[in-house]
Structures are given as C-alpha cells and as structure tokens.
Amino acid sequence: MTDTITAHLNFRGQARSALEFYRTVFGGDVTIATYADTHQADDPAQADAVAFGQLTSPTGLRLLAYDVQTAKPYDQGRNSFYLALHGDDPVATRYQWDRLIERGSVLTPLGPSAFAPLYGMLTDRYGVTWIVSAG
C-alpha cells in the first residue's frame, strides 16, 4: 500500500495562473479540468474556472489547485488549502476515511467520481479539510 499527502491550494479565479506560475518555478506538466469539463458548472460564469488542477514536476513534486465555487464561501486566510490524501488501496483508503470522519463532517460522500474511482471530502474533528481518493 502507498499513501501520499499533497497540498491542495484553493483560489477564487486564480488557480490556472497560479499553477502556470508554479510550473515556471518547479518545471513539469500542468493538467487542468474546468467545471464545464467535469459537468459541475452550476454558475455559467464559472464554467472555465478550474475544478481540478495539478502540477507534476520531474522531481516528484505534486501540487493540486482549484477555484472555489462561487456558491461557497472563500476566505484566502481561512480555507486556502486542503490536504489531499491519495492511496492505491481502496480498502485501506475506506478505513482511513472512516477514521478521519469520526466526530467530523462529510462534505462530499466517498464514492466514484469523474476523475477518480474513489473520491470524497470531509472536515475532521480538528477543522482540517481532507480530500480522500484512491485509484
């Protein structure tokens, strides 16, 4: 089993430019899926905003970023990042999810998504928001 934790930066309309900037710093490839690409564009004005963004560098650095939906509150100083936990063993990932959610709250139930066989979001008992995925 392999687990990794990756910084997941949250923006309001700047995720694309931030990822491109970090690419100039670290090198590598940027992957972007917009809200339109993932069929999550509840607000037409946000269709081209980043729903999933990733920088992968040749040295192994991985950085995730997205534009917070306009319907959700955003305070750069308060919810500017998530921890993204990705595992290769769905059984172990479900166990980790079950432990992290104890006395926490589910933001997105753990299940299949458009970009991962297993995906969910939760806020743990300490107020830390986790993106949990496997696949």
In a structure prediction context, what are the per-residue pLDDT tens digits for the chain, which is 135 residues long? 788 889 899 999 999 999 998 999 889 999 999 999 998 888 888 899 999 999 999 988 899 999 998 888 888 777 778 889 898 899 999 999 999 999 999 999 999 988 889 999 999 987 889 999 998
Q: CA-CA distance, 86 to 76, in Å (whole number)?
A: 24
Q: CA-CA distance, 130 to 5, in Å (whole number)?
A: 10
Q: CA-CA distance, 128 to 119, in Å (whole number)?
A: 17
The reported pLDDT for the residue numbered 32 is 97
The reported pLDDT for the residue numbered 109 is 97
Residue 26 pairs with which residues in a beta bridge? none
Q: CA-CA distance, 17 to 5, in Å (whole number)?
A: 23
The reported pLDDT for the residue numbered 31 is 96
**Predicted model pTM:** 0.71
Q: In sequence order, which ranges of the chain are alpha helices (DSSP H)?
A: 15-26, 90-100
Q: Are 118 and 124 spatial neighbours (Cβ–Cβ below 8 Å)? A: no
- Where do the DSSP E strands lie in 14-90? 29-34, 50-56, 62-67, 81-87
What domains does the chain contain, in order, with CATH numbers?
9-69 (3.10.180.10), 79-135 (3.30.720.110)
Q: Which of 133, 91, 88 is nearest to 114 (CA)?
A: 133
Query: Which residue in this structure is represented by tokens 């040295």?
Result: 59
Q: Are 26 and 36 spatial neighbours (Cβ–Cβ below 8 Å)? A: no
